Structure 1
Amino acid sequence: MDFRAILMGLAFALMWSSAFTSARMIVLDAPPLTALAIRFLISGVIGIAIARALGQSWALTPAQWRATALFGVSQNAMYLGLNFMAMQTIEAGLAAIIASSMPLMVAAASWVFLRERLRPLAMAGLLAGFAGVSLIMGMRLGAGVDLYGLTLCVIGVLALTVATLSVRTASATGGNLLMVVGLQMLIGAAALAVPAVLFESWEVTWTPRLIAAFTYTTLIPGLAATWVWFLLVARIGAIRAATFHFLNPFFGVVIAAILLNEALGIYDVIGVLVIMAGILAVQIARRPQRTG
């Protein structure tokens, strides 16, 4: 893995993790699904406009269209939509920790349902990772965390896990990286628009925090992070790129603690460190073994 790939992976992890804090800021002042649908619409239009300016085409292959549609609905609409709703009642740090367990869930589901053989290091990583999640969730449940919000986060990460297993190849294979990102955003916006119109009212408290958070989450986690992720996958492969997910629990809780003054107890720190070790172990173990 070269130095540029490392910088790209660190940038992705930082941008992705910061999305939970900016989302928490948004949902405190605006309806979550409506705000997210508008965010995806703006991000998608910008992404497609830049892609067209770069000469990229929206004439995707059938495999690309399937993957784009699946991830647009499962990741952007279901996963992020449920997380935005959840963060009306739970802290951004907890949402980031639950979302960060996705690589563990993918590995576990691959083992259970796809009969993928896991090395001993991967099994140890799974046990450690889920133990860390259980420790944090147990402490939060004891402290009276909102079960509705917690359940929405869990359902969201399960939806993203299913989508990840359904599409084994990156949706950006064959080029048109930024175009694929933009189209995914528009699909997510369309999927979220229906429940937003049916179930939410336009009640917005316009504050500098809301405007700044919305602008940031639209351009950085929404557009830039997704683009960087696809570039990273194209550069070093999906399995190696996924290794950087082990940084997400740490970045997520630290950013939330700094910007939102969320409490960070000793058990949270221990749990995050255990989760990070578990994710890293799983991703290292799943790398193809060198031969010769």
Structure 2
Amino acid sequence: MDFRAIFMGLAFALMWSSAFTSARIIVTEAPPMAALAARFLLSGLVGCGLAAALGQSLRLSAAQWRGVIIFGLCQNAIYLGLNFIAMQWVGASVASIIASTMPLIVAGLSWIVLRDRMKPLGLAGLVLGIMGVAIIMGARLSGGISPMGVALCFAGAMALAVATLAVRGATSGGNVLMTVGLQMFVGAIPLSLLSAFFEPHDIIYTPKLVIAFLYTALVPGVLATWVWFLLVERLGPIKAATFHFLNPFFGVALAAIILHEPLGLGDFIGVAVITLGIIAVQYSKRSPSQLKLTPSTAQEPAPSGH
């Protein structure tokens, strides 16, 4: 058994899932779009700086530039932007649960829009995923959770799913860290403009905010992405992908431990059902090329992080 790979996978899943909790801390004391734009700027500088130190080049292929622009806009600006805004009204556990349905959304869109064939196991996985979300959201909505916050989380997840399908295979060819850094800058630009026009810039500078901001920028944003690519290189994309099944559990657990967000029996049942659905969809894929998962999209090698 490769204990080093297991440790790397657990570390990745934990770091990736923790981004929802740190983001929740940030948006309680700073405007979400401004904070996210600043986070992308810092992550981009670190990512491009590390890439340059490793000898990576700005000379990307046309497909890589397309991936940088589409993912930078859809993943960073839209997906994470909507999640940051939504977490003003919903907890980190809810946001992490909705985000964990990404593989199910991508698989469903592939089946409905692209007419990709899906085995019975995959269809069963989609049904399980929908049931899991319904179990959790039914209890949460009846308990007074913001429907707008939930809708924003799902809209963000849908935007990233569409982008994932649009640039399938467009991010290969090396210069990984450079594409990660450049993608951060792409996401920072529209968020900065929107924040300037639509957000009040009332920021409460506290040690908690500073720590959460630096943590989100450097750990889920850069370190988790780096660990992910090391893990893929060590195990291959299919085996590495299995660690994503821990994200719903870690996301909910961290929100409960750090933010003291209440959890009910329905949350645990729903997370378990969603996880089973993701596993079923994942293992119903027809070929190894369709089994590649990323930190954020659960579908293609990621050019970006949380």
User: Do these two structures clear the TM 0.5 threshold for a shared fold by scoring above it?
Assistant: yes
Give the secondary-structure state (helix, strand or coil) at the position aligned to 2:139.
Answer: helix
Give the secondary-structure state (helix, strand or coil) at the position aligned to 2:203.
Answer: coil
1:125-145: CA deviation from partner (whole Å, max 9, x where unpaired): 111111001110111111111
> 1:65 maps to which residue?
65
> 2:155 maps to which residue?
155
Map 1:1-292 to 2 at 5 A: 4-169=4-169, 171=171, 173-233=172-232, 238=237, 240-286=239-285, 288=287
Distance 1:7 1:114, change over 3 A: farther
* C-alpha RMSD over aligned residues: 1.8
Question: After the TM superposition, which parts of structure 1 deviate over 6 Å for at least 4 consecutive aligned residues?
Answer: none
Tell me the number of residue pairs that the alignment of Structure 1 and Structure 2 aligns.
288
Task: State the one-letter code of the partner of 1:99.
Answer: A
Cα distance, 1:6 vs structure 2 = 4.0
Distance 1:234 1:180, change over 3 A: farther
Cα distance, 1:8 vs structure 2 = 3.5
8 Å contact 1:96–1:249 — kept in the other structure? yes
8 Å contact 2:63–2:170 — kept in the other structure? no
Task: State the one-letter code of the partner of 1:35.
Answer: A
The whole-number CA distance in structure 2 between the counterparts of 1:70 and 1:241 is: 25
> 2:300 maps to which residue?
none
Cα distance, 1:242 vs structure 2 = 3.6
Task: State the one-letter code of the partner of 2:186.
Answer: I
Structure 2: unaligned runs, 5 residues or longer: 289-306
8 Å contact 1:79–1:159 — kept in the other structure? yes
Distance 1:199 1:165, change over 3 A: same
State the identity as a percent: 60
So what's the TM-score if we normalise by structure 1?
A: 0.93
1:150-208: CA deviation from partner (whole Å, max 9, x where unpaired): 1110100000100111111162x211111111111111111211101111122111111
8 Å contact 1:17–1:251 — kept in the other structure? yes
The whole-number CA distance in structure 2 between the counterparts of 1:195 and 1:259 is: 30
So what's the TM-score if we normalise by structure 2?
A: 0.89
Structure 1: unaligned runs, 5 residues or longer: none
